[in-house]
């Protein structure tokens, strides 16, 4: 089973590369945002708990998110693997995910981290803001803050996977095809 954490700062190209990986390797996409919205729409007990917390402006605790991921894994037992999107974001979440996957008889195969300079990220996100109309991609100060948040709070997660010899850093500059080929080369060596 191929289980990937595709990692990188906002604007690194995770969404684009995720879609290519899902098609090529027939992976199930596990986006925590999509899972949360799906559980809420389905009215599950976890969804109702998450909605209650979100309605109060609280963050959904890790154990609720892990419960939702567990449910999604159980619904896709015959999958070739999973690509994790938006989770884990912290070392504690990564530890919880490792425990869950071990219980399911599997593990994270690799964290593929896309490397892109801050200046390139800002340029890409401003372009995306023009194309998509996303307000959070139109303001350079907001973009810089998102990148700083990633660098300060999320990037340290790379150390967790590096300690497990599961971190592969891939240059995120070039054409979509060139970047995909670099990622595929990493995957073929797992």
pTM: 0.87
- CA dist list (Å): 101 to 1, 106, 116, 173: 11, 5, 29, 32
pLDDT of residue 58 exceeding 90: no
pLDDT of residue 33 exceeding 90: no
pLDDT of residue 43: 93
pLDDT of residue 123 exceeding 90: yes
Tokens of 33: 């945002």
pLDDT of residue 109: 98
């Amino acid at each position: 089973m191929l289980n990937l954490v595709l990692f990188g700062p906002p604007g690194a190209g995770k969404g684009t590369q995720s879609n290519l990986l899902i098609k090529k390797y027939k992976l199930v996409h596990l986006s925590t945002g999509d899972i949360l919205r799906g559980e809420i729409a389905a009215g599950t007990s976890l969804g109702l708990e998450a909605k209650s917390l979100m309605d109060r402006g609280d963050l959904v605790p890790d154990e609720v998110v892990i419960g939702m991921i567990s449910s999604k894994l159980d619904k896709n037992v015959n999958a070739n693997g999973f690509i994790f999107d938006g989770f884990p974001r912290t070392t504690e979440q990564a530890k919880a995910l490792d425990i869950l996957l071990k219980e399911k008889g599997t593990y994270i195969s690799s964290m593929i981290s896309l490397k892109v300079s801050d200046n390139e990220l800002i340029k890409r996100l401003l372009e995306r803001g023009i194309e998509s109309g996303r307000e959070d991609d139109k303001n350079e100060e907001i973009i810089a803050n998102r990148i700083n948040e990633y660098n300060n709070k999320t990037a340290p997660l790379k150390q967790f996977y590096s300690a497990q010899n599961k971190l592969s850093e891939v240059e995120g500059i070039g054409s979509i095809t060139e970047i995909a080929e670099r990622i595929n080369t990493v995957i073929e060596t797992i």
